[in-house]
Amino acid sequence: MIRNIAAYHFVPVDQPQALCDQLLSRADGLALRGTILVASEGMNLFLAGAPDAVDTFVSELRDDQRFADIVVKVSESDDQPFGRLKAKVKPEIISFRMPDASPIEGRAPAVSPTDLSRWLAQGTDDTGRRLVLLDTRNREEFAHGTFAGAETLPIDNFTDLPDAVLARREAWQDATVVSFCTGGIRCEKAALWMRSQGMDNVLQLDGGILGYFEAVGGQGYDGACFVFDGRVALDPTLAPVPTSTTIAEGDAHA
């Protein structure tokens, strides 16, 4: 049994290379595989390995006061989904390249999975406003699945999102817009940026799709969630979807 974790945390990092080297060394010593990204704005990681080793890595990571409250999403698989371990220092832990989008200075308002599930069931938010679910992922990702009726954008990279959003913003003025992505990291920036553009009706789904699956299952969601490893996509129970199914969906969309 392999334990898989996905986690990010926005926090000032004075010496990104030193932190990157430290995390790489510890993950390697625990025989973990995956990707660790470090920047001056924080850290983003996807790792997998033996359950005890993964739990040790997370426990030691939380011993660092900067990451004491990091939220870690956990799933299990029969096989190791990563071929190797790598760690990099980058300008951003998720590339967006837009001003007014720094989660270090504060988050955009969020909606919990349980509240979103309730809103989906009743068809509106708690004030009676209509809902727009905005998928901030790219075409390849949402081809595997998304929330029923969600707005998807014709983008191939996250950096393409601003132009696509600005082209549609007028149609969303009377709605509560809930932005979502795989694990939440993209919406940390996208929702902040949208609100900086005057879209004060935008919220972010706390924990992303994976957090929603973990908390409430697949209510209102069609298909699977693309993930960035050899499992390709996960169903609402966080189990890998058969490869033939995910390939077919991807080809159909392309």
User: What positions carry a catalytic annotation?
Assistant: 181
Q: Are strands 233-234 and 225-226 parallel, antiparallel or unpaired?
A: antiparallel
Helix 51-63 × helix 16-29 angle, to 10°? 150
End-to-end alpha carbon distance in the chain: 33
Helices (H), 101-179: 113-122, 139-142, 161-166
Burial class for 59, CB neighbours closer than 10 Å (0-12, 13-18, 19+): exposed
Residue 91 CA to residue 40 CA, distance in Å, equals 7
Residue owning tokens 């720094």: 102
For residue 245 the two structure tokens come to 């199914």
